[in-house]
Amino acid sequence: MIDLCEQCAEGRITEDERGELSDEHRPDSRGQSYAVNVANNLYWWVADRYKVNTRSVYYAADVFAFQAGVEAGLLPPQARSYEEVRSVLEQPTLAAIRDRTAQGWGALVRDIYGPNPFRTPAFDPRRRTPDVLGLSRRIYDERDFAAMPVLADLLEEAGCDDAGILAHCRGPGPHVRGCWAIDLVLDKG
């Protein structure tokens, strides 16, 4: 599903084609375990254009804790509902796995949506110098996010004084394709 959304964002398939393909590849979760149901919900969260849905991120993090519980022999792999697994997932070790995963995924959501998913930051197109655009395209195409601090320096040299953009580019990440700052620079809005 992520690949289909990426193809759509890059203009290789249309929104309608993405919808048809996502329906075709949708996992069937009827009668499946809790983990399969959560994975199915995550699939549709992605299909709905990466909606910011913290509950879905948290439930998806449950999958990792669920798997750890199954591997430790604390949970049966065929558990069907959240009620069946809730008390086990609240054990300190599994809760810590779930919380770390949710925090990590939350960081990815913030990388995609930026500091405020409801308001796109303003970006002065004059800051899109050939060097800024060239490096941004390379970062995007090659997924070379180690170059993000260099992009911050180039943006600053081009006159960008937006502290949020510069801090994000210089920050530890994580960064992924779809990073709000790269998309802003490349005008992929």
Q: How many CB atoms lie within 10 A of CB 72?
A: 12
For the stretch 126-174, pLDDT in tens is 999 999 999 999 999 898 899 999 999 999 999 999 888 999 999 888 8
Q: For residue 171, is it left (φ>0), alpha (ψ between -120 and 50) or beta?
A: beta
Cα dihedral value 171, 174, 185, 43, nearest 10: -150
Say if CB 131 and CB 119 are below 8 A apart: no
Model-level pTM?
Answer: 0.60
Domain boundaries, the chain: 2-113, 125-185
> What CA–CA distance (Å, rounded) separates 114 from 108?
10
